[in-house]
Homo-oligomer: A and B are copies of this chain.
Amino acid sequence: MHDTAPIAEAAAWLAGLSEALSAGDVPRALSLFAEDCYWRDLVAFTWNVKTLEGKPQIAAMLEATLARTGPAAWQVTRAARRPEGVEAWFSFTTMTGSGLGIFRLEGGKCRTILTTLQSLRGFEEPLGATRPFGVVHGANRGRETWSERREREAASLGASEDPYCLIIGGGQGGIMLGARLKQLGVPTIVIERNAKAGDSWRRRYRSLVLHDPVWYDHLPYLPFPPNWPVFTPKDKMGDWLEMYVKVMEIAYWGGTECVGARFDAAAKRWTVELIRDGRPVTLRPAQLVFATGAYGPPKVIDFPGAQQFRGEMLHSSQYSAGAKYAGKRCVVIGAASSGHDVALDLWEAGADVTMVQRSPTTVVRAATLLELAFDLYSEAAVESGIDVDTADLLGAAPPFALQPVAQRALYDRIRVRDAAFYEKLTATGFLLDFGPDETGLMMKAYRTGSGYYIDVGASQLIIDGEIKVKSGVEVERLTPDGIRLADGTELPADVVIQSTGFQSMHEVVARIVSREVADRIGTCWGLGSGTRHDPGPWHGELRNMYKPTVQEALWFQGGNLALSRFFSKFLALQIKARMEGIGTTVYGAPR
């Protein structure tokens, strides 16, 4: 039997909210919320990616946005009882479109609510019943076939016709956003330095396999088939992206680099200088998206003595295959994901490997994460009706501020489950942590995108002494024959690989637009948690990602496959609304 109480309770609560908001009565609306409450809005009320924390912030947001948003038609679509209270899904409309959301009640009051814009009225995506017909039946001497139309568009877009949007970077983030914008009818070009879509995966080191499972990695519109492997090998991923670009009919310029861009605030157009297949091209898009990789350019450390070093030094992003290092003494500086991956790949190739670990690393075994952390993204979830879009919205419902509690609980379980493993790992001298507040890998990923490793094999090599580790020590300088550490140790080395991470994406803006614009925008990514490398103030959302920045018409898109998939939708809606001249007054715009 169905438990009908939750849906009745949810519907009553939502009716109360609806009445209060219709009456413009913000205090009455707030009376429906718990004291410690959160409203996360993705583009529906704020035209921003914004979490309002506590009643005063929610009140201010509603006072500012209510009249111009005009939310209506609130409707609970399903509800369930959870340990903490009732969780309900709902739909609603605004003056410009329709939305979906999730709220959670505790003791009859709302603890958290998520509102998301899903479509723009009059500009709904042609999908399912409204998909294109594909042919005009009847006789037509001017008939243009699909191929002819594709050829004409390829010839005109970027030549006689400027794209409305230019996306710099044709990896997963740029491709997914390109697909969404194509669906919304926004003329868009995606440019990519590599020759072909997928090359950014293909060019990485040979043993790379995605660390997240397939259920978490789907692209929009075309999920991976049921025979796709749990963990996607990099070249298979490359092929899928290349296919996807073709199937989605994305205008994709491989072999193209952006060398400069400036914004004309009067004309509301960018002037973007490209080199396409060696020839200069100038485009004037209205919107410019940086999708150059979540973490920006490689962070290369200029060690003292580097000039004298007689071996080879490279950054992990330049590392592709270990074969040529067989039998050589290799030192990997850095002990996060790429440091471990490179060390494992080198060991498999027969190199002598030492890892220099300068600060502690959060390590979780892949099998453990698969078992404990991907309940929303799993075959079991699919079988219980939770498809990837449902999982994404459920995952977006809790605000960042509340995630540490859940993550700490998860890591309490993980530490117990893998106690023997962690004991052996730390016995080697390896510095293990779970973040400054014991919240583990995911919070590190959001805060700094660094300092963690999903163990797919390197940790056992460390335990077995096959990969040597020097921990808790900085590099003092390079010598002609290797590395001298701050504790005086000398590490002889034929090869030094800096697995030292990446800079913020805004450094790409500095190179392409200007240092001044980049500095005004500030760094990308991170929550402002105040933890190491993620300075405050607290933002409650990822800095500068997927939302308006201080520079008009400049956007950032990035992150892993899941974040790129989910947020590309909201970024695409923001861009489409601007193209159509829909009012998009931003609440809480960056200054």
Please report A residues at the B interface, Cβ cutoff 8 Å: 125-129, 131-135, 137-141, 143, 145-147, 183, 206-207, 209-210, 214, 221-222, 225-233, 235-236, 239-240, 243, 246-248, 344, 347-350, 366-367, 379-380, 382-383, 455-458, 460-461, 466
- Given A147-B235, A239-B247, A229 and B134 touching (CB < 8 A)? yes
- Given A227-B183, A461-B139, A209 and B147 touching (CB < 8 A)? no
Bound form: Cα–Cα A139–B350 in Å: 11
24 sample A-B contacts, Cβ–Cβ < 8 Å, listed by A number: A127-B226, A128-B226, A128-B379, A128-B383, A131-B228, A131-B230, A134-B232, A134-B233, A135-B229, A135-B231, A137-B366, A139-B348, A139-B466, A140-B348, A141-B347, A145-B206, A145-B235, A146-B236, A147-B206, A183-B227, A221-B225, A225-B247, A240-B247, A243-B246
Bound form: Cα–Cα A239–B249 in Å: 11
CB distance from A325 to the nearest CB of B (A): 13
CB distance from A560 to the nearest CB of B (A): 17
Residues of B within 8 A of A379 (CB): 128-129
B225 touches A222 (CB 8 A): yes
Bound form: Cα–Cα A380–B129 in Å: 8
Residues of B within 8 A of A382 (CB): 128
Bound form: Cα–Cα A65–B248 in Å: 49
Describe A's contact surface by its main secondary structure.
loop
Residues of B within 8 A of A227 (CB): 125-127, 131-132, 183, 221, 248
Instruction: Name the CB-closest residue of B to A454.
Output: B137
A138 touches B457 (CB 8 A): yes
CB distance from A203 to the nearest CB of B (A): 12
Residues of B within 8 A of A210 (CB): 134
Bound form: Cα–Cα A179–B120 in Å: 39
Bound form: Cα–Cα A23–B147 in Å: 62
B348 touches A230 (CB 8 A): no
* Residue with the greatest number of chain B CB neighbours at <10 A, chosen from A125, A146, A457: A146
Instruction: Name the CB-closest residue of B to A238.
Output: B147
Residues of B within 8 A of A222 (CB): 225
From the candidates B230, B344, B466, name the one contacting A134 in the complex (CB within 8 A). B230
From the candidates B131, B235, B247, B457, name the one contacting A146 in the complex (CB within 8 A). B235
Bound form: Cα–Cα A551–B344 in Å: 54
- Given A131-B227, A138-B457, A138-B460, 20 more A-B residue pairs with CB atoms under 8 Å apart are A126-B227, A129-B380, A129-B383, A133-B229, A134-B209, A134-B230, A134-B236, A135-B231, A135-B456, A140-B348, A140-B457, A141-B350, A145-B206, A145-B235, A147-B235, A222-B225, A239-B247, A240-B247, A243-B243, A243-B246
Q: Which 6 pairs from chain A and chain B are nearest by CB?
A: A134-B229, A146-B233, A134-B231, A135-B209, A129-B379, A221-B225
CB distance from A199 to the nearest CB of B (A): 13
Instruction: Name the CB-closest residue of B to A133.
Output: B230
Bound form: Cα–Cα A457–B146 in Å: 17
Bound form: Cα–Cα A279–B334 in Å: 53
Residues of B within 8 A of A243 (CB): 243, 246-247
Bound form: Cα–Cα A210–B232 in Å: 33
CB distance from A569 to the nearest CB of B (A): 14
CB distance from A339 to the nearest CB of B (A): 15
From the candidates B135, B214, B228, B344, name the one contacting A139 in the complex (CB within 8 A). B344
A226 touches B221 (CB 8 A): yes
CB distance from A110 to the nearest CB of B (A): 32
Bound form: Cα–Cα A344–B127 in Å: 30
* Residue with the greatest number of chain B CB neighbours at <10 A, chosen from A225, A235, A460: A225
- Given A232-B134, A457-B137, A207 and B247 touching (CB < 8 A)? no
Bound form: Cα–Cα A131–B232 in Å: 12
CB distance from A239 to the nearest CB of B (A): 6
Residues of B within 8 A of A383 (CB): 128-129
- Given A137-B366, A239-B246, A230 and B145 touching (CB < 8 A)? no
CB distance from A527 to the nearest CB of B (A): 30
* Residue with the greatest number of chain B CB neighbours at <10 A, chosen from A183, A221, A233: A233
